[in-house]
């Protein structure tokens, strides 16, 4: 894959204005903006190879771009889900460009390629209990890790939302302890937490966090041993290592706990709109993928228990 020439640097195109708009007006997270930037750079490389104007996007150009992405070698090849995301980025840019320049949006009716719907990986309640036991140690790091995993599972929050929490985001209302979470688009939601998460959080706040607090901590809830805010990469690593320790097959990440949270609530009879609100989804359609998990469970139990199922 060739390098971008100087005249194709992303910061020297209208794409830079688009990224600024997303950051300032839409309030997108840094990680999302970084993904947008990478996708747009791929498009610039394609446009340079084909000697096309990357700012004058057409449906034909995007169709050719998709074919180009699918034709990359195995090192650079994107999955269909990533290709679909790139198309969404270009559609958003096309809409922005049309509005800014008062021209027709060429991609208004262009749909990204459909991809097979994959069910999320949900852990069983036993697996989650074993995971928490595996990472729970009597030292400060162990207390923090246990509180982190308990809170991820108790709230269904994204790992970035959890590591960005401050102590002040933990709120006591009457007899209920809740967490104020800032999600995508800076949309806030309040999620109550139960007994296990509360006890783990109390132990961490009383016995571990005070030993790490420094001036640079700035009120962050989850700290590393030097007093800085715990990174999402560190959270990912400790959960992955804990899963391997107890022999859970496949790739387990903080997002697995989010999937488990939603699946277990629905299995327990929670209304899908309640789960939608707790997850911070803007549309119930996004949440409905979890109902497919519970339908699979329903079929399994039916097959196991119904006298005429076999």
pTM: 0.64
Rounded-to-integer distance, Cα 260 and Cα 294, Å: 11
Are residues 139 and 249 part of one domain? yes
Within a domain: residue 191? yes
Averaged pLDDT, 276-300: 83
Within a domain: residue 119? no
Within a domain: residue 169? yes
Within a domain: residue 87? yes
Are residues 73 and 153 part of one domain? no
pLDDT digits (tens, 9 = 90+) for 121-168: 789 999 999 999 999 999 999 999 999 999 999 999 999 999 999 999
Are residues 151 and 17 part of one domain? no
Averaged pLDDT, 85-112: 87
Catalytic residue among 184, 189, 207, 232: 184
Within a domain: residue 115? no
Rounded-to-integer distance, Cα 204 and Cα 142, Å: 9
Are residues 129 and 92 part of one domain? no
Are residues 217 and 174 part of one domain? yes
The CATH number of residue 192's host domain is 1.10.443.10
Are residues 63 and 177 part of one domain? no
Are residues 227 and 131 part of one domain? yes
Are residues 136 and 85 part of one domain? no
**184: annotated active-site residue:** yes
Within a domain: residue 109? no
Are residues 171 and 131 part of one domain? yes
Averaged pLDDT, 198-222: 95
Averaged pLDDT, 23-34: 87
What percent of the chain lies above the pLDDT cut of 70?
89
Instruction: Name 87's bridge partners.
Output: none
Catalytic residue among 91, 144, 158, 264: 158
Boundary residue ending a domain (67, 101, 135): 101
Q: How many domains does the chain have?
A: 2
Is residue 309 over pLDDT 80? Answer: no
Q: What is the CA radius of gyration of the chain?
A: 23
Hey, what's the torsion of the CAs at 26, 31, 32, 34, to 10 degrees?
100
Which of 287, 252, 43, 56 has its CA nearest to residue 159? Answer: 252
**Domain extent at residue 137:** 125-304
Averaged pLDDT, 29-43: 88
Q: Which residues neighbour 98 within 8 Å (Cβ) at sequence distance 6 or greater?
A: 104, 105, 106, 108
**198: annotated active-site residue:** no
**36: annotated active-site residue:** no
DSSP of the chain: -PPPPGGG-GGGSHHHHHHHHHHHTS---HHHHHHHHHHHHHHHHHHHHHT--TTS--HHHHHHHHHHHHTS-TTTPPPHHHHHHHHHHHHHHHHHHHHHHT---TTTTPPPPP----------HHHHHHHHHHH--SSHHHHHHHHHHHHHHHH---HHHHHT-BGGGEEEETTEEEEEEE-GGG-EEEEEE-HHHHHHHHHHHHHTHHHH--GGGTTBSSB-TTSSBPPHHHHHHHHHHHHHHTT--S---HHHHHHHHHHHHHHTT--HHHHHHHHT-SSHHHHTHHHHHHHHHHHHHHHHH-TT--
pLDDT digits (tens, 9 = 90+) for 2-27: 334 444 455 456 688 888 988 888 88
The CATH number of residue 70's host domain is 1.10.150
Catalytic residue among 91, 229, 264, 281: 281
Is residue 214 over pLDDT 90? Answer: yes
Query: Backbone phi, then psi, for 235, in 5-degree steps?
Result: -65, -45
Are residues 97 and 138 part of one domain? no
Boundary residue ending a domain (33, 68, 101): 101
**144: annotated active-site residue:** no
Boundary residue ending a domain (48, 67, 101): 101
**255: annotated active-site residue:** yes
Within a domain: residue 197? yes
Catalytic residue among 42, 144, 258, 259: 258
**281: annotated active-site residue:** yes
CB distance 203 to 143 below 8 Å: yes
Averaged pLDDT, 26-49: 87
Q: Could you give the C-alpha distances from 256 to 107, 122, 191, 222, in angstroms and in order?
A: 34, 6, 18, 20
pLDDT digits (tens, 9 = 90+) for 229-270: 999 999 999 999 999 999 987 778 898 999 999 999 998 888
Is residue 280 over pLDDT 80? Answer: yes
Are residues 252 and 169 part of one domain? yes
Within a domain: residue 237? yes
Are residues 257 and 203 part of one domain? yes
């Amino acid at each position: 894959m060739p390098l971008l020439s100087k005249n194709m640097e992303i910061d020297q195109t209208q794409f830079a204005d688009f990224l600024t708009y997303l950051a300032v007006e839409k309030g997108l997270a840094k990680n999302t903006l970084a993904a947008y930037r990478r996708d747009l750079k791929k498009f610039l490389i394609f446009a340079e190879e084909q000697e096309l104007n990357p700012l004058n996007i057409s449906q034909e150009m995007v169709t050719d771009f998709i074919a180009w992405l699918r034709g990359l070698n195995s090192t650079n090849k994107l999955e269909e889900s990533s290709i679909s995301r790139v198309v969404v980025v270009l559609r958003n840019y096309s809409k922005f460009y049309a509005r800014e320049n008062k021209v027709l949006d060429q991609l208004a009716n262009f749909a990204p390629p459909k991809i097979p719907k994959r069910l999320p990986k949900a852990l069983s309640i036993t697996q989650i209990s074993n995971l928490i036991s595996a990472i729970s140690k009597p030292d400060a790091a162990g207390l923090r890790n246990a509180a982190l995993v308990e809170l991820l599972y108790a709230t269904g929050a994204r790992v970035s939302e959890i590591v960005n929490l401050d102590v002040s985001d933990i709120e006591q209302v009457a007899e209920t302890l809740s967490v104020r979470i800032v999600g995508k688009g800076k949309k806030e939601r309040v999620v109550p937490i139960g007994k296990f998460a509360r006890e783990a959080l109390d132990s961490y706040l009383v016995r571990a966090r005070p030993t790490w607090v420094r001036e640079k901590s700035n009120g962050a809830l989850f700290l590393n041993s030097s007093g800085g805010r715990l990174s999402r990469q560190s959270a990912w690593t400790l959960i992955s290592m804990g899963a391997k320790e107890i022999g859970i097959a496949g790739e387990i990440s903080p997002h697995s706990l989010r999937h488990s949270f939603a699946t277990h609530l629905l299995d327990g009879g929670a209304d899908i709109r309640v789960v939608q609100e707790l997850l911070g989804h803007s549309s119930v359609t996004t949440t409905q993928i979890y109902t497919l998990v519970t339908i699979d469970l329903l079929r399994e139990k039916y097959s196991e228990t119904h006298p005429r199922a076999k």
